[in-house]
Structure 1
Amino acid sequence: MNLFDPQGPVAAADSTILIDSVAIMLAIVIPTIIAILAFAYYFRSSNPRAFYSPDFAYSGRIELVVWAIPTLTIILLGGVAWIGSHQLDPRAPVEGTGSPVRIQAVSLDWKWLFIYPDQGIATLNSMTIPVGAPIHLELTSGSVMSAFFIPQLASMIYTMNGMVTRLNMRADQEGTFKGVASQFSGDGFPDMMFDVHVISPLDFPNWVAKAAKTDRVLNADSFRQLSRPSVETVNATFRLEDPRLFEDLATHKIPPAPGPEVTTDAAESYIGAPNVR
């Protein structure tokens, strides 16, 4: 999850903004530190050249320096933020090669569900995408608010119950990258991570065909079971039985997941991992 090792255009722009912002802020921090050390050294008690001005009240030149440097810094930082926030609008299209892939991401307690409506499959805690293809993400929450973040590929964006946010991205290198939930959401939050597998465009149809052969089925009933609070260690794959599942969840035709319950029983989750209560 190296922020300074971007593998896509969105992450590269994020990294540039971060570096530029730090460099601009250092334009104040470094001179201030140098000035503190210089003043402490020059006005030491053993320096006979140090002067004392008890009647000093105002200096226009000092005021100019004191206010001009922070003002310029704010203008520069504001410009970087303004330009970057418009260029990196999550809904802005990202060019790529090949056919775009639409993925519907759902944050749960404490796991991520990825639905591929056009391919008729879904995956848990694992997202597979073809390298170079534009990726259109639609995101919502089946529980409390969370945040979707792939440091090497995409900007952070929130997922909220009852609404849909959108994010476009592209991966330029094959490999496996880590995604995280960057918004605290309860006991299982530290383990709420997922893998992003970037594969060849030629291998993507084969992966879809293999995933579609699974015996697990995702529909409204199995989703309610899956959405129970738990930490899952298995990256499961499902056949999507209801292509309107994401829409039904976002419009509350499927109620959000219930909150944690006080219990002494060691219940088992939908796919076998123990529940976290």
Structure 2
Amino acid sequence: MSKALAPGLAALLAGCSGGILDPKGQVGADEKSLIITATLLMLLVVVPVIVMTLGFAWKYRASNESATYTPKWAHSGRIEAVVWIIPIIIVSVLAYITWESTHKLDPYRPLDSAVKPIEVQVVALDWKWLFVYPQLNIATVNQLAFPANTPVNFKITSDAAMNSFFIPQLGGQIYAMAGMQTKLHLIANQAGSYDGMSANYSGAGFTGMKFKALAMNSQAEFDNWVKQVRAGKPLDAANYASLLKRSENHPVQYFSSVAPGLFYGVLNKYMAGHQTAMESGLSASQLKALSSSLCAPAAAKE
């Protein structure tokens, strides 16, 4: 029997490979543990109810004349205790786990690590992902790289329709919205290439809005990748205008430098905020000028 079931079990588990049930980072592993724990706790109620439903239906079937017949039965203290106390305990445990994990897995909460994190600014476009490395002054399209066991601090926005940034094996998704900045903190505990995607429908090219997240074996390997990126062209207002044009299944692109404050310029296109100017290191007038230059080619998106 076990040999007969093996192919079926293998087929079921194959769907877990490369997804949230096959985590390669601490955040993803904690989320998997939470999903499994919550599911098992809920099954403590669901499984006995299913078993008792089938058991009662069989025991009190019409053809079983030996079953006890008590038409005037109305109440049982023991049954009342079971149907109330057990769910209360389970809900209380779930509430505690949810409260604790909600704070522990808060996407805005920086990860505890002795290793200095890498900062990446993410801009969702039609239909591609732009990754800006402000510390390195480089940028890429549809390829993200970082050393394994190094925290990555993401700042995320959109210069298109609302989207959702998601690397299933590393951790939870978070929305990318025009005029707003969201944050996400992830880490890869194993080197490898992980699938990243858009998890929110955003138009005709949505299915091709995918990228690779490359967790490098070492800092040296990451440094070599940075050298490759520096061989690309600069990401100025003109080249950014080209990126704004809608494209499907966009190839990987490298940019050797980035216009100062580009990420905050994108933010400022949709909102007038002093905080964005402070974070970018630019004056309000400089940020306004940058936003104007990024707004000028907006018609190119059509």
Equivalent residue, structure 2, for 1:271: none
**CA distance in 2: counterparts of 1:31 and 1:106, whole angstroms:** 48
Residue in 2 aligned with 1:45? Answer: 62
Secondary structure of 2:135's counterpart equals coil
Pick from 234, 237, 242: which aligns with 1:220? 237
Contact 2:139 / 2:258 at 8 angstroms: preserved in 1?
no
Q: CA deviation at 1:100?
A: 2.0
Structure 2 residue aligned with 1:270: none
Give the CA deviation at 1:155: 1.7
SS at match of 2:106: coil
**Aligned mate of 1:8, from 22, 25, 35:** 25
- How far apart, CA to CA, are the structure 1 residues paired with 2:97 and 2:120? 30
Q: Describe the shift of the 1:25–1:4 C-alpha distance in structure 2 as closer, same or farther (beyond 3 A).
A: same
TM-score (normalised: structure 2): 0.80
Q: Does 1:106 align with 2:126?
A: no
Aligned residue in 2 for 1:72: 89
* Superposition deviation, residue 97 in structure 1: 5.2
C-alpha distance 67-187 of structure 1, shift in aligned 2 (>3 A): farther
- Secondary structure at the counterpart of residue 202 of structure 1: helix
Q: Deviations over 1:212-261 (max 9, x none)?
A: 111x3212232232122221341111123312100110121244966985
Q: After TM superposition, give the deviation of residue 101 of structure 1 in Å.
A: 1.0
The 1:211–1:142 alpha-carbon spacing in structure 2 relative to 1, beyond 3 Å, is same
Quick one: distance in 2 between partners of 1:190 and 1:260? Answer: 18
Instruction: Please state if 1:209 is matched with 2:223.
Output: no
User: 2:219 aligns to what SS in structure 1?
Assistant: coil
Contact 1:134-1:168 within 8 A present in 2 as well? yes
2:255 to 238, 241, 263: 238
C-alpha distance in 2 between matches for 1:67 and 1:219: 64
Letter in 2 for 1:234: P
Distance 1:227 1:260, change over 3 A: closer
CA-to-partner distance for each residue in 1:194-216, whole Å, 9 max, x for gaps?
100111211112211221111x3
For 2:229, give the aligned amino acid: A
Q: SS of the counterpart of 1:203?
A: helix
Q: Give the aligned length.
A: 260
- Contact kept, 8 Å, 2:205 with 2:249, in 1: the verdict is no
Which amino acid in structure 1 is aligned with residue 243 of structure 2? L
Identity between Structure 1 and Structure 2 (%): 38
Q: Select which of 175, 178, 189 maps to 1:158.
A: 175
**Alignment match, 1:267:** none
Letter in 1 for 2:221: D
1:7: how far off?
1.3
Give the structure-1-normalised TM-score.
Answer: 0.87
For the pair 1:120 / 2:137, whether they are aligned, the reply is yes
In 1, Cα distance between the equivalents of 2:72 and 2:20? Answer: 52
Report if the CA contact (8 A) 2:158-2:179 is conserved: yes
| Closer, same or farther: CA 126–48 of 1 in aligned 2, 3 Å | same
Rounded to whole Å, the distance in 2 between the matches of 1:224 and 1:54 is 79
Q: Which has the higher helix share?
A: 2
- Structure 1 unaligned residues grouped into runs of 5+: 262-277
Classify 1:260/1:42 alpha carbon distance in 2 versus 1 (closer, same or farther; 3 Å). farther
Question: In the alignment, is residue 89 of structure 1 matched against residue 99 of structure 2?
Answer: no
Gaps of 5+ in 2: 1-17, 270-290
Relative to structure 1, the CA distance from residue 173 to residue 257 in structure 2 (aligned partners, 3 Å threshold; closer, same or farther) is: farther
SS at match of 2:220: coil
2:123–2:129 Cα contact (<8 Å) kept: yes
In structure 2, the residue matched to 1:140 is: 157
1:19 aligns with 2:75: no
Deviates more, 1:218-227 or 1:181-190: 218-227
Amino acid at match of 1:111: K
Answer yes or no: is 1:167 the counterpart of 2:167. Answer: no
